[in-house]
């Protein structure tokens, strides 16, 4: 059995991965708040943890891995969207979940084993909050319930800060009903126009952090193997999840390994809705970037490193995938190459795994390449429609070659430039050098838009 090693953010060390129960390896990943299309930053953890899910299934067997990723469908951002648009909340969350599925399916991400919606687990949240109050870790005040951070000695351990540092460094919400400024909300009151559920503390709704603690407990138990999410969630969200879960179930260990993906950036800044520097997965798909190409771009950077999206990376990914699809067409059944499994097992070294795929391609091992690439969610049959479009551009190459020869004589390049512009508009990449004219169908290529010759 492959020896998987993972970097554990909690211990700040790479460790051998030893599942609590190899017959049921359990992973929880924080999912989206559903009020808008996912941007390509939001899709990074989806691809990262999907790749880990695929590796775990390969090593432990498909039926022996449980992957839970939630939908946060109760949140003030959703409420704001509903009041802006006048639409019912359920319409907004249902539609956003449908979009999320479409977009993540297009990236070759398997659906997790379970995708709980927070609103279906309100009872479990209320139970957990009551348990925290009974255990002396939370208190009710003015319709709110707050977690008492001073009651948990390890608070701050995951992110490596003390409570006093946090208070000094953070913009904490000071409220009269809080005993300590770092105490965070488990339950808050709802006015009549907001979603709410009856509880021992009045009609209200849960805080965000308790959702993940309650859902992971319900579906995975008091202890499970891996908890994942973006590094932006490490503090306060994951710190608060740990505090809640470890205080509510002191005998369980909650998550053993914590994994955090670094951010997808735009000019050095996190892509985020609040900064407005984002574009969605759907935008890229609509521009003609195949989902498989987008996935390949993510896999080119280790998940612990920041990355950005560039058109150049996509063009390279597309050329590689096109070549590999040609090479593996009609290839027989193979097994994933041990060197690819080894690279992935080394803290999900996806860039290393891709280097190994290039090796298999250059050695002409089509069956090995196909099986290995599929382990990374690449070269899947259902994602290949884009590559079948191997349109013969020879007539346009010949035409442009002639135009260029004439232009050399006449010193007038207007016709060449017009032809190049028309080809570019049809999604063709035009490369002209001394060696000749090369035309490549790029993202967004549309044969119907080619200029008439």
Query: Residue 212 binds which entry of ligand ATP, Zn ion, none, with Cβ cut-offs from 5 to 8 Å by kind?
Result: Zn ion
The piece of 97-105, 208-216, 293-301, 405-413 that touches Zn ion (CB under 5 A) is 208-216
Helical residues (DSSP H) of 135-272, grouped into ranges: 163-169, 208-220, 239-248
Query: Residue 245 binds which entry of Zn ion, ligand ATP, none, with Cβ cut-offs from 5 to 8 Å by kind?
Result: none
Shortest CB 204 distance to ligand ATP, Å = 21
In the complex with ligand ATP, which residue's Cβ is closer, 208 or 254? 208
Based on the number of CB atoms within 10 Å of its own CB, is 268 exposed (0-12), middle (13-18) or buried (19 or more)? exposed
Distance, in Å, from the CA atom of 161 to the CA atom of 157, rounded to the nearest integer, reads 6
Q: Which residues pair with 5 in a beta bridge?
A: 16, 346
Map the footprint of ligand ATP across residues 10-39, applying CB under 6 A.
Answer: 30, 32-33
Examine residue 272 and tell whether it contacts ligand ATP (CB under 6 A). Answer: yes
Examine residue 159 and tell whether it contacts ligand ATP (CB under 6 A). Answer: no
Based on the number of CB atoms within 10 Å of its own CB, is 411 exposed (0-12), middle (13-18) or buried (19 or more)? exposed
Shortest CB 229 distance to Zn ion, Å = 6
Shortest CB 129 distance to Zn ion, Å = 16
Q: What number of helices (H) and strands (E) belong to the chain?
A: 16, 15
The verdict on whether residue 237 carries a ligand-binding annotation is yes
CA angle 51, 117, 72 (to 5 degrees): 80
Map the footprint of ligand ATP across residues 251-270, applying CB under 6 A.
Answer: 261, 263-264, 270
Examine residue 212 and tell whether it contacts Zn ion (CB under 5 A). Answer: yes
Query: Residue 274 binds which entry of ligand ATP, Zn ion, none, with Cβ cut-offs from 5 to 8 Å by kind?
Result: ligand ATP
Backbone Cα Rg of the chain: 26
* E strand spans, 173-294: 184-189, 204-206, 223-230, 254-261, 264-266, 269-270
* E strand spans, 41-122: 65-69
Examine residue 237 and tell whether it contacts ligand ATP (CB under 6 A). Answer: no
Examine residue 325 and tell whether it contacts ligand ATP (CB under 6 A). Answer: no
Here the contacts of 439-442 (C-beta below 8 Å, separation 24 or greater) are 439/393, 439/396, 439/397, 439/400, 440/319, 441/389, 441/391, 441/393, 442/288, 442/315, 442/318
The verdict on whether residue 420 carries a ligand-binding annotation is no
Examine residue 44 and tell whether it contacts ligand ATP (CB under 6 A). Answer: yes
Task: Indicate the angle between helix axes 311-328 and 291-299, nearest 10 degrees.
Answer: 110
The piece of 27-35, 75-83, 135-143, 179-187 that touches Zn ion (CB under 5 A) is 27-35
The verdict on whether residue 273 carries a ligand-binding annotation is yes
Interface residues with ligand ATP (CB under 6 A) are: 30, 32-33, 41-42, 44-45, 229-230, 232-233, 261, 263-264, 270-274
The annotation places the binding site for Zn(2+) at: 30, 212, 237, 241
Interface residues with Zn ion (CB under 5 A) are: 30, 212
The annotation places the binding site for ATP at: 273
């Amino acid at each position: 059995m492959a020896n998987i090693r993972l970097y554990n953010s909690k211990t700040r060390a790479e460790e051998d991965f030893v599942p609590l129960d190899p017959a049921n390896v359990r992973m929880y990943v924080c999912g989206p708040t559903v009020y808008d299309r996912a941007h390509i930053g939001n899709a990074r953890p989806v691809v990262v943890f999907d790749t880990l899910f695929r590796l775990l299934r390969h090593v432990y067997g498909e039926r022996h891995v449980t992957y839970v990723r939630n939908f946060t469908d109760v949140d003030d951002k959703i409420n704001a969207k509903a009041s802006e648009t006048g639409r019912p909340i359920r319409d907004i969350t249902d539609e956003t979940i449908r979009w999320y599925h479409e977009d993540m399916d297009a990236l070759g991400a398997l659906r997790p084993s379970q995708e709980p919606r927070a609103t279906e687990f309100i009872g479990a949240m209320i139970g957990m909050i009551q348990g925290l109050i009974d255990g002396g870790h939370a208190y009710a005040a003015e319709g709110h319930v707050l977690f008492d951070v001073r009651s948990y000695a390890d608070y701050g351990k995951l992110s490596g800060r003390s409570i006093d540092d946090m208070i000094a460094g953070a913009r904490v919400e000071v409220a009269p009903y809080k005993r300590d400024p770092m105490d965070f909300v488990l339950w808050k009151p709802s006015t009549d126009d907001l979603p709410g559920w009856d509880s021992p503390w009045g009609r209200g709704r849960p805080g965000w952090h308790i959702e993940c603690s309650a859902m992971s407990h319900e579906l995975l138990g008091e202890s499970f193997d891996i908890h994942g999410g973006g590094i932006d969630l490490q503090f306060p969200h994951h710190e608060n999840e740990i505090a809640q879960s470890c205080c509510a179930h002191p005998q369980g260990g909650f998550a053993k390994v914590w994994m955090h993906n670094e951010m997808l950036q735009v000019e050095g800044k996190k892509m985020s809705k609040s900064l407005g520097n984002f574009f969605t997965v759907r935008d890229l798909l609509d521009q003609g970037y195949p989902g498989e190409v987008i996935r390949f771009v993510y896999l080119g950077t280790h998940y612990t490193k920041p990355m950005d999206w560039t058109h150049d990376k996509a063009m390279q990914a597309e050329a590689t995938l096109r070549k590999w699809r040609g090479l593996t067409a009609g290839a027989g059944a193979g097994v994933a190459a041990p060197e690819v499994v080894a690279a992935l097992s080394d803290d999900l070294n996806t860039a290393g795994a891709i280097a190994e795929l290039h090796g298999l391609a250059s050695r002409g091992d089509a069956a090995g390449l196909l099986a290995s690439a599929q382990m990374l969610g690449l070269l899947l049959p259902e994602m290949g429609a884009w590559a079948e479009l191997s349109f013969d551009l020879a007539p346009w190459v010949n035409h442009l070659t002639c135009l260029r020869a004439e232009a050399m004589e006449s010193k007038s390049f207007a016709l060449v430039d017009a032809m190049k512009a028309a080809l570019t508009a049809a999604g063709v990449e035009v490369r002209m050098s001394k060696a000749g004219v090369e035309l490549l169908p790029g993202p967004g290529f549309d044969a119907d838009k080619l200029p008439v010759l």
